[in-house]
Amino acid sequence: MESSAKAGKRHTGQTLLHARRTSRGVWAQLKKNRFLYLLLTPALLLTLIFKYGPMYGAIIAFKDFSPIRGIWNSEWVGFKHFEKFLTSPNFETIFMNTLKLSAYGLICGFPIPILLALMLNQIRRRGIKKNIQLFLYAPNFVSVIVIAGMLFIFLSPTGPINQVVSWITGSPMMFMTDPEYFRWVYILSDIWATAGWASIIYVAALANVDPELHNAASLDGASLLRRIWHIDLPTIKPIMAIVFILAAGGIMSIGFEKAYLLQTSMNLPASEIIATYVYKIGLQSGDYAYSAAVGLFNSLINVVLLIGVNMIVKKLNDNQGLY
């Protein structure tokens, strides 16, 4: 409607309708909206170059990359690099490390923001609620380097936590070097850093619940926990579904940044994940093609996972999925 109002200055409605069906109509559209296209251009160009460019560049995963011959002229080798990865002795460890780290992280981390939001929702005094939120959100703004640095400080064999531990058990726990502890350190610090912030959307959704619902339920004798279960939880269920899809779909795309920082030569059996492996073989050892193949393999798993999880959630959630 808006477009016809714009064009109405020059055309009658009829000619516009006619013009729209022809290719000249499209051209006229382009011309009429040229300012909007101009505004869109930077984002479009950057996306094409820096997002779709590398997708094209990913074909080196199927080639024997030679820096002299360049991406295009290097020799095709098919799935050689993929086979090499899938049959390498490291494959199982790295794959399972990646999967475990994020699956455990999802299982432990997913309920916490929901619990926080449900509890925050029970705080009636707005000032107090705001202050609690202020503190709980803060760690989200701390850089991953500082978080890792703090972990090294607090969990070092002589750090404050181990002073307590050795006082009780007589010997310090090797949090940062024993592979057994790596996942716990990673996951718990992740919850510490992100759970507060992740509760925002739940808190906001809960704020929209009509208080009359709670009053009525209370008059009917519903206890606090029943009201939370039957009123608050259903309110945030669709959001929970979306958050879960996104998290589960991204389960194999767990980030490089923190895992790499927390890696020590001793905890590698648990801390080497696909992302850090890709970095090491690619940028540190310079095996570009093989590394690109490992990365591409990982991306493909992610897409499949996301589609799969979305289908499952759609079934469970009255056809409400992500797309």
Partner 1 sequence: MLIQNSPFDRFMLVCMKLFLLLAVLVVVVPFGYIIVASFMDPTVLLNRGLSFHPGDWSLEGYRKILSNEAMIRGFFNSVWYAAAFSIITVLVSIGAGYALADDSLVGRRTVMTMLIITLFFGGGLIPTYLLIRELGMLNTPWALLIPGAVNVWNIILARTFFKGISRELKEAANVDGASDRIIFTRIVLPLSKPIMFVLALYAFVGQWNSYFDAMIYLEDSKLFPLQLVLRSILIQNQAAPGMIGDQQAMAELKRLSEMIKYSSIVISSLPLIVMYPFFQKYFEKGVMVGSLK
Q: CB 255 → partner 1: shortest distance, Å?
A: 9
Cβ atoms of 104 and 98 within 8 Å: the answer is: no
Nearest alpha carbon to residue 296 among 274, 271, 273: 274
Of 114 and 136, which has the nearer Cβ to partner 1? 136
**Rg value, the chain, Cα:** 27
* Residues 170, 165: Cα–Cα separation, whole Å: 7
* Residues 91, 73: Cα–Cα separation, whole Å: 29
Burial of 231 (0-12, 13-18, 19+ CB in 10 A): middle
Of 36 and 96, which has the nearer Cβ to partner 1? 36
Of 97 and 298, which has the nearer Cβ to partner 1? 298
Helix, coil or strand: residue 227:
helix
Q: CB 195 → partner 1: shortest distance, Å?
A: 8
Q: CB 69 → partner 1: shortest distance, Å?
A: 13
Of 34 and 315, which has the nearer Cβ to partner 1? 34
Output the six-digit token pair for 253. 């795309």
Of 160 and 269, which has the nearer Cβ to partner 1? 160
Q: CB 228 → partner 1: shortest distance, Å?
A: 9
Of 20 and 100, which has the nearer Cβ to partner 1? 20
Q: CB 295 → partner 1: shortest distance, Å?
A: 3
Q: CB 119 → partner 1: shortest distance, Å?
A: 4
Helix, coil or strand: residue 8:
coil
* Residues 124, 203: Cα–Cα separation, whole Å: 13
115 Cα distance to chain centroid: 20
* Residues 98, 121: Cα–Cα separation, whole Å: 35
